[in-house]
A and B are shown apart, each in its own frame.
Chain A
């Protein structure tokens, strides 16, 4: 039950293409239906060893002693790994992008901050033998108070989940304990509004639950290299992480993957490759480290829970005058990718609507639970649930049909957005119209006549004359030098926004297939930002050698 509404935006498209637009059979489909598609585990090895981890049963505990003596003697056990066996036992995933501070061990040595955190790894001839030896490891724990609620975690006096961030909040730009969005003056607009709508929204953590669990098999390869078959979603991302943690040149690593049994964001964390390769290094044999389903569900990183508070100020006619957000991302015990999710979420606010005053404070909060990671819609799904549930309330309060309410407030081409860039290539209005039509919902005349192409810009393209900013949540003792660093100086930089030329209604790509398509280009909307501040002297204990993706732009600093 799918139709293609080709009549929309037809003059912006050339549909006369050769292979593009065809329902061509998938390249890999024959492999899938014959069971021949090679997932990471579909490689046979002589003498394959199995890795299973000893995991914390506590939400938060200090490790007094790990006694592996009994485990080492058990049948089939080849090697037991502890944190001291890991060449570099501290990392944060986004260090490859110079973002954040190393905060997470591969195998923890001093304390654990979530139930399931690994503290030792058993390498054995069979999975059953590895499991048995895991049970024989004795850990002397000193249980610590834990915190599981995001708003409790940010209160003074809460148990410190991650020592790198004593306030249980990720520090942005070395300056604030949250990411701000400030556009106009929401408090002023609330005072003028006819309706105020407030809401609190909570998303549960959920599992990516791909049918294939996460895992990797590593083996010594010819010529002093290691091959690693992996389920990762980012081949070089995982390779770079492994190279860093194992202090090994990336040239000695040969990663093979690309055929994955579902990912949905859960196969980015690169937890398996480093340990599998380390096992292969230390035993000289192929080693497999993969999660079973129970681990995939409770140890594997879920989509992080999010809590959003939204307040809207709505005019009598249904236009939203102001929207204020306070958001808490539950990052769990370590940062992983959550720090980035907040920025992605903030860049998305207030949703696809033109609202002249927007305010947001979004926190990346540490709690004593399984660290969160990406999942389909990372940084967006949670806040969109909140926004759209909130819009429904606003529609009701303003007395408008929910679809009319969306169209009225929808962004159009040329509108200024809260992150101070002009909207283009919009299509929300048209999607709403199509659904209303299909669903038999009668819209107002204005809604039916609306278009993304013509109703925007002009007054709506202007930046607010005044934006209320603040220094709330300022911290000290953290360096800047994060990816996407800006400012860090005393005065707030002036916003700049270049008007984007309204897209001319010509096909994006030239006709006949024989003519080469235009080379793809991207025109950044902003002028180059003001000259970057000189870097603070880097007392940079958390950075070590190995592969970097950095220096892609001159704006990065150490």
Chain B
């Protein structure tokens, strides 16, 4: 497969490199760039472990072609903490919203987009936002609690 040049912004930093035309964004980020935070859970777009943010929207990186991020802004969980821990991360820690941690990077991406768009979500809003992120360990309750708590904290701030 031919390699195409790709220039994009990853977690606030400009990157320029090459990507094979058939390569998916998940593999590109993990092995091409070395950002290991998005995870492989199914490669079929059904689990959400690979969720990243592109231009402010969630995308399943296992089903996104790497070359399509040309000129776009990409965010992953490893970029959430910008010098200090992001409120969502703090809330996840406080509420014990992760056990094995494998779904957590993708889950945080979905939560971030929700809160960026809707600073006062209802429980139903949260449930809908994370319905594409499967978790096998927690039973979801602490994750919902953590996201609602983050929203509450921000409103009080």
Report if A and B touch in the complex (beta carbons < 8 A).
Answer: yes
Which of A26, A262, A292, A294 is B102 in contact with, Cβ under 8 Å?
Answer: A262
Contact of B100 among A25, A38, A209, A210 (CB under 8 A): A210
Question: Which chain A residues border B98 with CB–CB below 8 Å?
Answer: 26, 29, 32-33
- A339 within 8 A of partner (CB): no
Whether the pair B93, A292 counts as a contact (CB closer than 8 A) is no
Kindly count the residue-residue contacts between A and B in the assembled complex, taking CB atoms under 8 Å apart. Answer: 103
The answer to whether A213 touches B40 (Cβ under 8 A) is: yes
Is B31 on the interface with A (CB-CB < 8 A)?
yes
Whether B44 pairs with A293 at a CB distance below 8 angstroms is: yes
- A191 in contact (CB, < 8 A): no
The answer to whether A211 touches B102 (Cβ under 8 A) is yes
- In the assembled complex, which residues on chain A have CB atoms less than 8 Å from the CB atom of B137? 211, 262
Given A33-B77, A35-B37, A35-B78, also A212-B43 (CB < 8 A): no
Asked if A37 and B41 make an inter-chain contact with CB atoms under 8 angstroms apart, the answer reads: no
The answer for the CA separation of A377 and B101 in the assembled complex, in Å, is 22
As a 0/1 sequence over residues 28 to 67 of chain A, the CB contacts with chain B under 8 angstroms (1 = contact) are 1111111111110110100010000000000000000000
Chain B 18-29, CB-CB to A under 8 Å as 1, else 0, gives 000010000000
Pick from A30, A211, A294: contact of B134, CB under 8 Å: A211
- Contact: B92 with A29, CB < 8 Å? yes
- List the B side residues contacting A29 at CB < 8 Å: 92-93, 96, 98, 101
Quick one: which of B1-53 are within 8 Å of A by CB? 22, 30-31, 34, 36-44, 46-47, 49
A29-B92, A34-B78 in contact; A210/B102 too (CB < 8 A)? yes
A260 to B136, CA, bound (A): 13
* Contact residues in A for B96 (Cβ distance below 8 Å): 26, 29
Given contacts A211-B134, A293-B41, A293-B44, contact A33 B100 (CB under 8 A): no
Rounded to whole angstroms, the CA-CA distance of A522 and B22 in the bound complex is 59
Classify the secondary structure of B's interface with A. Answer: loop
Contacts A211-B49, A264-B136; is A128 near B22 (CB within 8 Å)? Answer: yes
CB contact list, A1-37 vs B, under 8 A: 25-26, 28-37
Q: For residue B103, which residue of chain A has the nearest CB?
A: A211
The complex places the Cα of A44 from the Cα of B27 at a distance, in Å, of 12
In chain A, what residue has the closest Cβ to B102? A261
- CB-CB under 8 A from B93, the residues of chain A are 25-26, 29-30, 33
Distance in Å: Cβ of B77 to nearest Cβ of chain A: 4
Distance of B18 from chain A, by nearest CB (Å): 15
Cβ-defined contact, B44 with A31, below 8 A: no
Q: Are A211 and B37 closer than 8 Å at their CB atoms?
A: no
> Quick check: A33 and B104 within 8 Å, CB to CB?
yes
CB within 8 Å for A262 and B100 given contacts A30-B93, A42-B36, A211-B47: yes
CA distance A209 to B43 in the complex (A): 14
C-alpha gap A25/B34 in the complex (Å): 28
Say if the beta carbon of B110 comes within 8 Å of chain A: no
B67 interfacial by beta-carbon distance below 8 Å: no
Provide the residues of chain A in CB contact with B39, threshold 8 Å: 39, 211-212, 261
B135, A211: Cβ atoms under 8 Å?
Answer: yes
Assess A37 versus B43: contact at CB under 8 Å? Given A29-B93, A44-B34.
no
Instruction: Give the size category of B's interface with A.
Output: 35 or more
Instruction: Name the residue of chain B whose CB is nearest to the CB of A1.
Output: B141
Within B54-90, the residues touching A (CB, 8 Å) are 76-78, 80-81, 85, 88-89
**B115 contacts across to A, CB distance below 8 A:** none
Interface size of A by CB at 8 A reads 31
Closest beta carbon of chain B to A495's beta carbon, Å: 42
Does B49 contact A35, Cβ atoms closer than 8 Å? Answer: no
Query: A35–B112 Cα gap in the complex (Å)?
Result: 15
Min CB distance, B19 to chain A, in Å? 13
Contacts of A264 in B (CB 8 A): 136
Q: Is the CB of B100 within 8 A of A36?
A: no
Query: A31–B101 contact, CB under 8 A?
Result: yes
Given contacts A44-B34, A211-B135, contact A34 B77 (CB under 8 A): yes
Nearest-neighbour CB distance to chain B for A298, whole angstroms, equals: 13
CA distance A506 to B134 in the complex (A): 46
* Cβ-defined contact, A293 with B42, below 8 A: yes
**Chain B positions within 8 Å of A128 at CB level:** 22
Interchain CB contact under 8 A, A41 and B78: no
Cα–Cα distance between A558 and B34 once the two chains are bound (Å)? 50
Whether B101 and A41, one on each chain, are in contact in the complex, defined by CB atoms closer than 8 angstroms, is no
A165 to nearest B CB, angstroms?
34
A34–B89 CB distance below 8 A: yes
Q: Do residues B76 and A212 form an inter-chain contact, with CB atoms below 8 A?
A: no
A292–B43 contact, CB under 8 A? Answer: yes
Q: Which of B38, B49, B89 contacts A33 (CB 8 A)?
A: B89
Given known A-B contacts A35-B76, A211-B49, A260 and B92 have beta carbons under 8 A apart: no
Report chain A residues within 8 Å CB of B81: 34
Give the residues from 123 to 141 in chain B that come closer than 8 angstroms, CB to CB, to chain A. Answer: 134-137
Check A209–B89 contact: CB distance below 8 A. no
Q: Considering only CB atoms, which chain A residue lies closest to B35 in the complex?
A: A35
| Cβ A36 vs Cβ B108 within 8 A | no
Type the 1/0 row for A249-265, where 1 means its CB is closer than 8 Å to any CB of B.
00000000000111010
Please measure, in the bound complex, the distance between the C-alpha atom of A346 and the C-alpha atom of B42, giving whole angstroms.
Answer: 37
- In the bound complex, residues from chain B placing their C-beta under 8 Å from that of A211 are 39, 41, 47, 49, 100, 102-103, 134-137
Asked if B80 and A34 make an inter-chain contact with CB atoms under 8 angstroms apart, the answer reads yes
Q: Which residues of A contact B77 (CB under 8 A)?
A: 33-35
Checking A31, A39, A41, A210 against B136 with a beta-carbon cut-off of 8 angstroms, the contacting residue is A210
Nearest-neighbour CB distance to chain B for A490, whole angstroms, equals 50
Q: Measuring CB to CB, which residues of chain A are less than 8 angstroms from any residue of chain B? A: 25-26, 28-39, 41-42, 44, 48, 128, 209-213, 260-262, 264, 292-294
> 6 extra interchain contacts, Cβ-Cβ under 8 A, other than A35-B77, A260-B100, A292-B43?
A30-B85, A33-B93, A33-B108, A44-B34, A211-B136, A293-B47
A-B contact pairs, 7 of them (CB 8 A): A26-B98, A32-B98, A34-B80, A35-B36, A44-B34, A213-B40, A293-B47
The 10 closest A-B pairs by CB, nearest first: A35-B37, A32-B101, A261-B102, A293-B42, A35-B77, A33-B89, A35-B105, A211-B102, A32-B98, A42-B36
